[in-house]
Amino acid sequence: MQSTMMRFPLTLDHILERAGKLFGKSEIVSRLPDRTLHRYAYNDFHRRARALAGALQRLGLKRGDRVATLMWNHYAHLEAYFAVPCAGGVLHTLNLRLHPDDIAYIANHAGDRFLIVDDILLPLYDKFRDRARFEQVIVVSLSREKVAERAGSLPSSGTPTAGRADYEALISDAAPFTPPALDENDAAGMCYTSGTTGKPKGVVYSHRSIVLHSLATATVDYMGVAHADAVCPVVPMFHVNAWGIPFTAVMMGSKLVFPGPHLDAESLLDLYQSEQVTLTAGVPTIWMSILQALEKAPARWRLAPGMRMVVGGAAASETMIRAFDKFGLRVTHGWGMTETSPVGTVNYLKRELGGRSAEEQYVTRAKQGMPLPFFEVRAMGGEAEVPWDGMTMGELQVRGPWVAAGYHDLDQEADKWTADGWFRTGDIVTIDAAGYVKITDRIKDLVKSGGEWISSIDLENALASHPRVAEAAVIAVPHPKWGERPLAVVVLKAGDAATEEELRDHLATKFAKFWLPDGIVFVNEIPRTSTGKMMKAVLRERYRDWRKRDEE
């Protein structure tokens, strides 16, 4: 028996049109390179996104064509987020923090035909332009200089010459937009992994996966994006769709606040205050700098009471969560990957945990949370699923409607998926009886000492709880007897001092003796990837010959 329901496609054009019809007066605020604020409303965004879609069609965009962006978080990038897929193209955000060689490889591997680029990023584009195969480059003038002076001549008709065009001229002279008949399984967006192991790998998102991801993240117990919110995605729009926040916020008609290229703590706090941001999202390194600024000048900023801060990309320590609580700011822990669109789990306290002590609640809040609706998880130890007891570790495997089933034009990574269709994340986790997932490590980052597993993340979080420690990384170093031993690499807070013995004593109250690092190395900074993750492979190479003093 078939249902009597309409076959209504889950496509992004419905979100764009909803925004224009229902939320025309909602505001979009962007900080420009010169630090001024650009303001306009959803009705302007709707009109301009449709104009950009029409301009791309006039330039020859065909269904399935890839349109790359090399842009910061701002209003024009939001326009591209909707214009490209609604015109039948595929939005491909290029990570501007990658090496130019990697950007060129990614653009060519994806088969990008068009590029939309901020004028302030033209110097970066020039570093790989001779190796990329773009047919057309469209330049957004954020610096308010005439693009023709920076990027070649442009006739008054807006028709491009010399392969470059002015963004504003194109959309002001665009032909009427003719919406194509979209299928919900059509490709809508692309993002490449940050390439920490081998070449970056491309994930292709469908209209359907983005719409379902947006609906799930909007729910109250997860990101809880509401029309009344002022939403500031600090997480970059040039990687994993800024965690899907732009799509979700537009669907709900929320006020959007974009920080542009100004991501230092004071600039963000000034923006949070002036726009009374209620929901923001980013990686722990951003929040560490914001926390330090608040601790240094607690009375300087008057933020929206209870501002929610979604933290992902790396583990947020319990210490950080506690510290922000003191300022009346709520940290919400989450987890995801490029391959999961990216949000897979978000932390909220279930009803039965409400009566537990504050200490027990903090332990739970420091976990990565529970899976979103329709997102399924399991932890595997070899061929068997491990129990949900909060203690037994296994590899996290996931499946769902916004989880990748393969990589773009890459067959040799098929072992990332199990025979029964689950994606192998490479994260080692425990799952407790209530369903909370806790990342204990990446498979490649676990320390195996004398046959026993040691979690580098647990040690890092414990070190970060020391009042003089800014951040810490724990890596495995070779050992002649035990196979591997943990080594801690520590960054102290500015102006503070601590000894190796002091930090070991701090850890000794929390862990078995064999877990304690054989050494603690003090450094000025820890190397990180373009997405803010610690580059432990670099540290392992740097300290591969490290030996404990009494072994030398």
Residues annotated as catalytic are 193, 339, 448, 453
Residue where the block lists tokens 């963000």: 268
Query: CA dist 276 to 271, 285, 355, Å?
Result: 8, 22, 32
Q: Are strands 437-442 and 447-449 parallel, antiparallel or unpaired?
A: unpaired
Residue where the block lists tokens 């332009």: 129
Contacts of 449 (CB under 8 A, 6+ apart): 479, 482, 483, 484, 485, 486, 514
Residue 288 main-chain phi, psi, to 5 deg: -65, -45
For the stretch 142-151, contacts whose Cβ atoms lie closer than 8 Å and that sit 24 or more positions apart, written own/partner, are 142/32, 142/33, 142/72, 142/74, 142/76, 142/118, 142/260, 143/33, 143/34, 143/119, 144/34, 145/119, 147/119, 150/119, 150/122, 151/119, 151/122
String of b and e for 453-463 (b: at least 16 CB within 10 Å)?
ebbbbbbbbbb
CA distance 438 to 430: 5
CA distance 354 to 340: 30
DSSP secondary structure letters along 515-537? GS-SEEEE-S---B-TTS-B-HH
Cβ atoms 129, 227 nearer than 8 A: no
Q: Which two tokens stand for residue 317?
A: 């320590």
| Rg of the chain, C-alpha, whole Å | 24
CA 125 remoteness from chain centre = 22
Contacts of 283 (CB under 8 A, 6+ apart): 235, 311, 312, 313, 314, 531, 532, 533
Cβ atoms 474, 459 nearer than 8 A: yes
Vertex 251 angle, CA 7 and 290, to 5°: 145
Residue 527 main-chain phi, psi, to 5 deg: -65, 145
Give the number of other CB atoms < 10 A from CB of residue 510.
13
Residue where the block lists tokens 């046959």: 451
DSSP secondary structure letters along 205-264? EEHHHHHHHHHHHHSTTTT---TT-EEEE-S-TTSGGGGGHHHHHHHHT-EEEE-TT--S
CA distance 399 to 394: 16
Residue 3 main-chain phi, psi, to 5 deg: -75, 170
CA distance 333 to 327: 17
Residue where the block lists tokens 């308010």: 144
Vertex 402 angle, CA 398 and 405, to 5°: 65
